[in-house]
A and B are shown apart, each in its own frame.
Chain A
């Protein structure tokens, strides 16, 4: 089945450690996104990529890094520079160059810093 796979679903990290969240899609979408969601809050855009080897910062990119070496994959690294990384992270993808076409989401990764 086509969709987006995020892993791991739950992740615990010690302070000062980098951690990478995986996001893979088989929908043949050009555009991919990472969002952060804090409890009871909306979605905030971290990074997005419209095409392979290109990505743009979103509203809260500080302390995060991404890569887009393959169309199917858009991993997110939460670095030690991110001051408050405990949150729910959602990866999404969509077709590009159109106002139609919804965002398809993965099931999310819940990161807890101990």
Chain B
């Protein structure tokens, strides 16, 4: 079974609008971390936001927030006030406390339209 599932291969959003990128995960580990990365066309992987499994509040970092719904095993990324520079691939990832592997989704390509 897939550990991380991103069901949106491509998304479009109007500039200045908000957009939600979906991510669901699968683990039986009680302790885990969820991460979102941005990959622009240059190829570098940019860390955006982290959510721990025991965190009570949703994580926020500037225009990024993580909508964490533990019972649904969902960790959606919300980007508010989209900018043209937000156009990139976005990857959701999970890390379990057992072992040191990170599991990545297949990514969502976001295009911001002027």
Contacts and interface: CB of A to CB of B under 8 A. Distances in A.
Contacts, number: 62
Interface in A48-103: 48, 50, 58, 88, 90, 92, 94, 96-103
A108 B39 CA distance: 11
B47 A102 contact: yes
A108 B100 contact: no
A43 B101 CA distance: 12
A105 B97 contact: no
Interface residues of B, number: 26
B100 A102 contact: no
A108 B43 CA distance: 7
Given A42-B104, A48-B101, A94-B102, A107 B44 contact: yes
Contacts of B45: 90, 92, 103, 105
Nearest to A100: B33
A105 B37 CA distance: 10
Nearest to A42: B106
A100 B52 contact: yes
Contacts of B104: 42-43
Contacts of B105: 42
B96 A110 contact: no
B43 A110 contact: yes
A31 B43 contact: no
Interface of A: 31, 33, 37, 40-43, 45, 48, 50, 58, 88, 90, 92, 94, 96-105, 107-108, 110
Interface of B: 29, 31-33, 35, 37, 43-45, 47, 50, 52-53, 91, 93, 95-97, 100-102, 104-107, 109
Ranked nearest first, the 4 interchain pairs of A and B with the lowest CB-CB distance are: A105-B45, A99-B97, A99-B33, A42-B106
